[in-house]
Amino acid sequence: MIQIKRLVLDVLKPHQPYVSEFARAIASKAEGSYVKLKVLEMDDKTETLEIIIEGSDLELDAIVSAINEMGGSLHSVDGVEVMNVKEE
Amino acid sequence: MSFEPFRKIQQFISISQSYDIARRYFVVNSFDGALTMLGLLLGFYVSKGVDLAVAIPACLGAAIALAMSGLTSAYLSEKAERKIEFKKLQDAMVSDLSGSAQDKASRWVPIWVALINGLSPLLMSLIIITPLWLVQLGFELPLGPFQSAIGVAFVLIFLLGVFLGRVSRTFWLFSGLQTLVIALITAFLIYVLA
């Protein structure tokens, strides 16, 4: 079974909600996940983020939906790590 | 863990950064409500012989008018402002934000700001005219109904000043006295001119 263990996303978001709230919304979509968020660029109304998410079985669709719900927009998936986990 | 709807509301307020606006509306319109009631009550007091059956509906009418004015004006102006802001944000994001938290906040915020703006003068007015009701219901007050209500108005105006002092982190007594002086000047003008 192929599981996504790590994602690196390039995301554009409005200044509000704050990054802490944004990270929390993403983390809420993947139990036990670790979310690292870095602001790469700040504009008048938006900011560009690099989001690194690590977890045991990440679901990209759920994460993208969380990003969109918070007003963000996924620009690109810059990195992905997957693992072929042996099914029991 | 927090209650989910409450958390959503907090999120909308945070996203729209409308807490400061609502607080400003609360103070401005509470002050409006309190001074309007003070003006009416002083008018009744100086003209003497005004029956409570006349004064209470007059005060209530003014309070309801203030509430409706506050509700509608804030709703319409905030709705227009939020719409412009949301459009600017969509342009900056170069994407459709329909259904996002910002979209929901831009629709929800005018309602909550309008409620604050409309209900604050109504609440102030109802508290101020409570002595009139009490006397009408047969309760005995140490002062006459109009003097008591005027006293309540002064206390509320002072408390609004105290609240402003706490918000601006200045000395609460000074800020309270400042608003009280404004109320006293208003009272003096009414007394002299009416």
Q: What is the pLDDT of residue A19?
A: 93
Sheet with A34-42: strands ordered across:
A34-42, A46-58, A2-14, A73-84
Residues B118-144 have a mean pLDDT of 95
pTM of the model: 0.79
For all residues of chain B together, what is the average pLDDT? 92
Complete DSSP assignment for B7-60: HHHHHHHHHHT-HHHHHHHHHHHHHHHHHHHHHHHHHHHHH----HHHHHHHHH
Determine contact: A33 vs chain B, CB below 8 A: no
**pLDDT at A84 exceeding the cut of 90:** yes
The per-residue pLDDT for A31 is: 85
Summarised one tens digit per residue, pLDDT across range B4-35 is: 777 778 888 888 888 889 999 999 999 999 99
- β-pairing, A34-42 vs A73-84, is unpaired
Segment B85-113 shows an average pLDDT of 91
ipTM exceeding 0.90, yes/no = no
A68 and B CB contact within 8 Å: yes
Please tell me if residue A14 touches chain B, with a CB cutoff of 8 Å: yes
pLDDT at B2: 57
- Nearest beta carbon to residue B93 from set A16, A69, A73: A73
Name the least confident of A4-13, A56-65, B3-12, B163-172.
Answer: B3-12
Q: Is the pLDDT of residue A88 over 80?
A: no
Q: How many angstroms separate the CA atoms of B175 and A63, rounded?
A: 49
Whether pLDDT at B1 is above 70? no
Question: Minimal CA–CA distance to A4: which of A88, A79, A76, A74?
Answer: A79
Nearest-by-CA chain B residue for A47: B93
**Interface membership of A69 toward B (CB under 8 Å):** yes
Q: Do residue B101 and residue A70 have CB atoms under 8 angstroms apart? A: yes
Higher pLDDT: A29 or B49? It is A29
Question: What does the pLDDT read at residue B18?
Answer: 86
Tell me if chain B has a CB within 8 Å of the CB of A61: no
Q: Looking at residue B120, what is its pLDDT?
A: 96
Say which of A16, A45, A73 has its CB closest to residue B88. Answer: A45
Count of CB pairs separated by less than 8 Å, A with B: 43
Q: Please tell me the distance from the alpha carbon of residue B83 to that of residue B12, in angstroms, as a whole number.
A: 15
Chain segment A36-80, per-residue pLDDT in tens: 999 999 999 999 999 999 999 999 999 999 999 999 999 999 999
A71 has a chain B CB within 8 A of its CB: yes
- Residue of B16, B17, B100 with shortest CB distance to A69: B100
Q: Which of A79-88, B125-134, B163-172 has the highest mean pLDDT?
A: B125-134
Q: What percent of chain B has pLDDT over 90?
A: 75
Q: Is A21 in Cβ contact with B93 (below 8 Å)?
A: no
User: What does the pLDDT read at residue B27?
Assistant: 92
Eight-class DSSP state of B102: H
Check CB contact under 8 Å for B93 and A71: yes
A24 touches chain B (CB under 8 A): no
Give the H or E element holding residue B151.
helix B145-167
DSSP string, chain A: -EEEEEEEEEEEEES-S-HHHHHHHHHTTSTT-EEEEEEEEE-SSEEEEEEEEEEEEE-HHHHHHHHHHTT-EEEEEEEEEEEEPPP-
